[in-house]
Structure formats: C-alpha cells, structure tokens
C-alpha cells in the first residue's frame, strides 16, 4: 500500500478519540479527498458521533473557519456505520480507537484482518498496548502498527508511528505520509516500548507531580502553575490528568507495573484514591479540580 492508494479511511470506535481522528482526517486531508467511515458496533455511539460531527462543522462555518462549500465537501466525505465488518472490507487504512481491553482488541484485529484487503494498513491508536500484542492473530501482520494520536486529536499535532518487529518498512513510511497529509507532525519510533516517547516523558512529570503532592510540598494548583508559568507547559500535569481521565492514568500505570514489577511504575496512591471514588476528571465532573459549576454553566 502506498499513500496514493489510500482512498478510504475507516476509524473503528465512535468515541471522543475516534470522532476527532476521523474529523481531523476529513478536515485536513481535503487535498487527498479521503472518504472516511466512522464505525462502531453500538448504534447509540454512531448516532452520537454523527450528531457531534454535524454540530462541530456548523460551528466551524459560523466562526468562518471553513466555508459552507468546504463544509458540504467534508460532510459528503464523512459517513457513519454500525457495521464494522462491512466498513473494514472497504478500507485502505484502518485506525482502531476502541476500548483499552486486550481481549476485545485481539478479537477485532483477528476478524477485520481477514475481511479487509491483504494490503490494507491496520493501525491501533493505543499508547498502552503495542501492536505486537495483536500480531499473532492478525492476517499479514507486516501491515500492522501503532498510529498514536494525542487528545484532543483535532488540536494536537503529534502522531507517533510505532514499528513493531512484524511491521514492514513500507507500512511505516505510508503511515507517516498519511499522517502528514492530514496536517500532523509524525515521528517514527523504531522499537516498541509501553507509552512510546511523549507519554513516557509525561509519565515522569506526572509521577514527580504526584510525589510532590503526597509529601505536602505544594498544592495541586501551585504545581500546575509552576509547570505552566515556569516551564511553559500549556497545562499542568493535574489539569492534563483531569482532561485525559484519571482512570486512564490508573489503568496505564497498573498495566505497566504488572509487566515490569517495578514499584516506580505503580499508580500513585492519590490516583488510586481518586479512582476508587470515581473521580476521573472532567468526564465525571470532579477530579483534581471540581468542574460541577462549569458543567452547570
């Protein structure tokens, strides 16, 4: 598969990340005129994604970010389906963005790799699970890799293209070219490692931030301010955890500790406490910060 052969892009998983990856491809890949299908086995998720896309594009027109003509072109190129199998069969490039569950992902890759074309590139957006975890169940695993977008995918420019021991050079270069064609700044990671590059660096910052808070050195607000005003971070580590989900942080650290056995990799006791309380951040209305009043507004 080459970049010029990619016509139909299928995003599997109609959640927040899937929606934004698909919309970014539609918005910034207009020169390539990609046909994008967002699919999910849950009809309610597809319906929600379709509603979100319509409202998002309407807002872009209202703010004069795109013309009505451009909006119509994007809408024409963007379709929605709850038939994952049929969508996969049409794909030249597949990006998986479903739940972070190894068993479910393995079942999906086993199924779709038999249904799609032999050279269809299959990428997982996961930063927690490397593609080699799916290689043994994937037909033609040389076309399998991690294509990791950052949240929010419509804003963040970085895409990590991760080479598994099974991944061909052609797959890596085509995935890199595809990401660049949709306005992203892709980097190639030559060896699989949990968390890849950016998240490993961020994890070290988050670990230190939690340690400072545990020891009573500084408050959540002051640690975030130090990172934002002293290190020029767009947002501090606690605000970022609230945005991406404290539950996500918990699961990633838990799984990393299970693999490494290194105490350093364990979730912070403060993160565990938040997880047990169900305080996951913005999506639950409360995390390190309280968003209740904001949600009411």
Q: Which of 24, 77, 148, 279 is catalytic?
A: 148
**Strand 35-39 relative to strand 78-81, pairing:** parallel
Q: Which of 81, 87, 168, 199 is catalytic?
A: 199
Triad 122, 136, 124: Cα angle to 5°: 30
Q: Which of 113, 126, 160, 249 is catalytic?
A: 160
Look at residue 164 in the predicted model and tell me its pLDDT: 98
- One pLDDT digit (tens) per residue for the chain, 297 residues: 999 999 999 999 999 999 999 999 999 999 999 999 999 999 999 999 999 999 999 999 999 999 999 999 999 999 999 999 999 999 999 999 999 899 999 999 999 999 999 999 999 999 889 999 999 999 999 999 999 999 889 999 999 999 999 999 999 999 999 999 999 999 999 999 988 999 899 999 999 999 999 999 999 999 999 999 999 999 999 999 999 899 989 998 998 898 889 999 999 999 999 999 999 999 999 999 999 886 443
The residues near 23 (Cβ < 8 Å, ≥ 6 apart) are 53, 56, 78, 154
Reference 172, options 187, 185, 193; nearest CA is 187
Chain centroid, CA 51 distance in Å: 20
Is residue 24 annotated as a catalytic residue, yes or no? no
Is residue 127 annotated as a catalytic residue, yes or no? yes
Look at residue 259 in the predicted model and tell me its pLDDT: 84
Neighbours of 295 (CB within 10 A): 11
- Looking at residue 223, what DSSP letter applies? H
Do the beta carbons of residue 182 and residue 24 sit within 8 Å? yes
Triad 111, 160, 182: Cα angle to 5°: 85
Element (H, E) at 158: strand 158-162
Model's pTM, two decimal places?
0.87
Phi, psi angle pair for 9, to nearest 5°: -110, 125
Q: What would the DSSP string read from start to end of 73-123?
A: HHHHHEEEES-HHHHHHH-SEEEE---S-HHHHHHHHHHHHHHS-TT-EEE
Look at residue 151 in the predicted model and tell me its pLDDT: 86
Is residue 160 annotated as a catalytic residue, yes or no? yes
**Strand 121-124 relative to strand 93-96, pairing:** parallel
Look at residue 297 in the predicted model and tell me its pLDDT: 39
Look at residue 255 in the predicted model and tell me its pLDDT: 85
Q: How many CA atoms does the CB half-sphere of 207 hold within 13 Å?
A: 13
Look at residue 252 in the predicted model and tell me its pLDDT: 86
- Looking at residue 285, what DSSP letter applies? T
Tokens (6 digits) for 279? 């305080």
Is residue 208 annotated as a catalytic residue, yes or no? no
Do the beta carbons of residue 92 and residue 8 sit within 8 Å? yes
Residue 69 burial (10 A CB sphere; 0-12, 13-18, 19+)? exposed
Look at residue 18 in the predicted model and tell me its pLDDT: 97
Tokens (6 digits) for 111? 């199924």
Tell me whether the omega of the peptide bond preceding residue 13 falls within 30 degrees of 0, making it cis: no
Do the beta carbons of residue 229 and residue 222 sit within 8 Å? no
């Amino acid at each position: 598969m080459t970049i010029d052969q990619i016509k139909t892009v299928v995003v599997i998983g109609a959640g927040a990340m899937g929606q934004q990856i698909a919309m970014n491809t539609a918005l910034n890949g207009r020169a390539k005129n990609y046909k994008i299908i967002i699919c999910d086995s849950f009809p309610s998720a597809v319906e929600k994604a379709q509603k979100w896309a319509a409202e998002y594009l309407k807002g872009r027109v209202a703010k004069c970010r795109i013309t009505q003509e451009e909006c119509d072109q994007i809408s024409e190129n963007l379709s929605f389906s709850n038939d994952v199998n049929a969508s996969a069969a049409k794909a030249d490039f597949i990006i998986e963005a479903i739940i972070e569950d190894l068993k479910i992902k393995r079942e999906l890759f086993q199924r779709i790799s038999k249904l799609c074309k032999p050279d269809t590139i299959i990428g997982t957006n996961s930063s927690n699970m490397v593609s080699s975890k799916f290689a043994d169940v994937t037909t033609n695993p040389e076309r399998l890799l991690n294509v990791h977008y950052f949240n929010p995918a419509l804003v963040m420019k970085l895409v990590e293209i991760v080479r598994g021991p099974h991944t061909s050079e052609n797959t890596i270069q085509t995935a890199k070219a595809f990401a660049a064609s949709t306005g992203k700044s892709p980097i190639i990671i030559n060896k699989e490692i949990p968390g890849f590059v950016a998240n490993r660096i961020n994890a070290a910052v988050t670990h230190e931030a939690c340690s400072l808070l545990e020891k009573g050195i500084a408050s959540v607000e002051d640690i975030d301010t130090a990172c934002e005003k002293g290190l020029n971070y767009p947002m501090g580590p606690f605000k970022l955890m609230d945005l991406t989900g404290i539950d996500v942080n918990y699961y990633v650290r838990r799984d990393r500790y299970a693999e490494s056995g290194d105490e350093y990799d364990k979730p912070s006791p403060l993160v565990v406490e938040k997880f047990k309380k169900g305080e996951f951040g913005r999506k639950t209305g409360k995390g390190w910060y309280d968003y209740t009043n904001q949600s009411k507004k």
